[in-house]
Amino acid sequence: MAKTAMIVARIEPELKADTEKILRKLGLSTTEAISLFLSQIRLRKGLPFEVKIPNKTTIETFKKTDKGKELVKCKDADDMFKKLRI
C-alpha cells in the first residue's frame, strides 16, 4: 500500500533533536519510528507500554537519583545481582 497519509505534530525542538540522535544510532528515521509505534498500537490495540502516574515513593526515588543520592554502583552484572540479594 502506498504511503500517502501525513501526520503533522508540533514538538519541542530539543526533544526532536535528542530523539533523532537516538533513532539514527538505531538505524531508524523519525518516520520509520512513528510507523513502528503506530503499528504496535494497532497490533496491541492500545499503547505498547504502560502509562501511569508515578506514586509518591517513585517520585521521591527519582528526585534522589537525579541528585546522585542513594545510588548503588556495581562493577558488573554479577556484582549487581549479589547486591540485589541483600
Smallest CA-to-CA distance from 30 within 19, 38, 39, 41 is with 19
The phi and psi torsions of 28 (rounded to 5 degrees) equal -120, 145
- pTM, two decimal places: 0.62
Position 1 scores a pLDDT of 75
Per DSSP, 75 falls in state: S
Q: Where are the domains of the chain?
A: 1-51, 54-86
- pLDDT grade for 85, boundaries at 50, 70 and 90: confident
What pLDDT, in 10s, does the model give residues 38-81? 999 999 999 999 999 999 999 999 999 999 999 989 999 999 99
Nearest CA-CA partner of 34 in 46, 49, 21, 19: 19
Q: Which of 75, 72, 69 is nearest to 84 (CA)?
A: 72
Residue 3 banded pLDDT, cuts 50, 70, 90: confident
Q: Answer yes or no: is pLDDT of 32 > 90.
A: yes
Distance CA 45, CA 13 (A): 30
Maximum C-alpha span of the chain: 56
Residue 86 has pLDDT above 70, yes or no: no
Fold designation for 1-51? Arc Repressor Mutant (1.10.1220)
